[in-house]
Structure 1
Amino acid sequence: MMQTSLRCAGDAKSLRIHAKEKLPITADSKIQLQVHGELDTGVGAPSWFAMIIRNFYPELSASTGVGLQYDKNEKLKYCVHGKKAFPLSSNGLLSFNIKGRYVADKEFKQGKAAGAAELSWSIINFQRDQDIRLKIGYEVSDNVPYLQIKENNWTLNADMKGKWNVRFDL
């Protein structure tokens, strides 16, 4: 099922339409091809596109991915990323997560590493038919704390450097 969202950021002059499709490669869906991209409504053209092979390890609460991404400003790049959750509650609604990625140019001459550690708390039925997820984290490569608040279809991301964005899942 395709996931679509409308996205707006504090440093952007236009609304972006984002779409993501996950296609199972194996029968158990532990390996998927994830294709996603964004259309910038201000210029009427794609601004970002990615194809990533993702491998999920549910028994470890972890995932890895490797793929290609295209950015209208920086062109074609290669990416590798991973994520690991450490459940802090028996129901898995409270967890400590670590995640990292490395993005390299097509000649593998320049690259950028990024990583974060975060505390995530999901509150199911905070109010009737309202689920909430709170994340408080620290982006290591940028040395900046951040916050995410997700309420059903709405997500607000903000960091201590003043960057923010809002997403509405359709």
Structure 2
Amino acid sequence: METSLRYDCDSRALVIHAKEKIAIDSKTHLQVHGELDTKIGVPCYLSAVMRRFYPDLSASLGFGLHYNGQEKFRYSMQGKKAFPVTTNGLLSFNIKGRYDIDKEFKERTPSGAAEFTLGILNFQKDQDVRLKVGCEVIQEKAIKGKKVSKVFNMVPYLQIRENNWTLNADINGKWNVSYDL
């Protein structure tokens, strides 16, 4: 089981995150996530996703359930495709998409992202670094008077990962940090 400690600018609480991957076959696994909010002492996130990998295509597809402490269960479909830019695979261009649907199949939320990922092996002795720069496209509700419409917002982001530490930040000032145990 993989565990990490996480802290973000929104909740201002330390969260204990656990993830387990259960192999179904060589290209499929069930990925289970959970988070415990140490401020209030209750689980704040639960997820179970069946993922299928397509190594020849550098792609994956996933289907599953997500539960955020403030919302109901949501169904999710997600996919990712990597396009290697260099022959050694350390620089790649990735596209990701996700489609969430509420339990009643009424509220649908698409999102996606495009990013460049650069891996730097032995940045310093025994220290690997990964940089991600990308732009996420998120559908949000916009309210004008009494009319509610949906708009797509583009949110540029950055990730810096060094061995066990990860820092994520976006242009809106949101950030989080995690430490893998």
Decide: shared fold, TM above 0.5: yes
Place the TM-score, normalised by the shorter chain, in its bin: over 0.9
The ranges of structure 1 where at least 4 consecutive aligned residues each deviate by more than 2 angstroms after the TM superposition are none
Alignment partners' CA distance in 2, 1:77 and 1:114 = 14
Alignment partners' CA distance in 1, 2:93 and 2:41 = 39
Partner of 1:145: 156
Per-residue deviation, residues 106-142 of structure 1 (Å, max 9, x unmatched): 0110011110000000001111000000000001223
Give the superposed CA RMSD: 0.7
Partner of 1:154: 165
2:74 to 59, 74, 77: 77
Aligned-residue offset at 1:13: 2.4
Partner of 2:32: 35
Partner of 1:12: 11
Q: For 2:56, what is the secondary structure of its paired residue?
A: helix
5+ residue gaps, structure 1, are none
* Amino acid in the other structure paired with 1:73: Q
Greater percentage in strand: 2
* Amino acid in the other structure paired with 1:75: K
Tell me the matched-pair count: 167
Q: For 1:59, what is the secondary structure of its paired residue?
A: helix
1:126 to 119, 123, 130: 123
Partner of 2:114: 117
Alignment partners' CA distance in 2, 1:114 and 1:66 = 15
Partner of 2:177: 166
Alignment partners' CA distance in 2, 1:24 and 1:106 = 27
Alignment partners' CA distance in 2, 1:77 and 1:144 = 23
Q: TM-score, normalised by structure 1?
A: 0.96
Alignment partners' CA distance in 2, 1:112 and 1:38 = 22
Per-residue deviation, residues 27-79 of structure 1 (Å, max 9, x unmatched): x2x10011111000011010010111000111111111000111111111100
Aligned-residue offset at 1:12: 1.4
Q: For 2:11, what is the secondary structure of its paired residue?
A: coil
Aligned-residue offset at 1:166: 0.2
Partner of 1:61: 58
Alignment partners' CA distance in 2, 1:12 and 1:110 = 25
Alignment partners' CA distance in 2, 1:52 and 1:11 = 25
Aligned-residue offset at 1:20: 0.4
1:107 to 104, 107, 125: 104
* Amino acid in the other structure paired with 1:58: P
Q: Percent identity?
A: 62
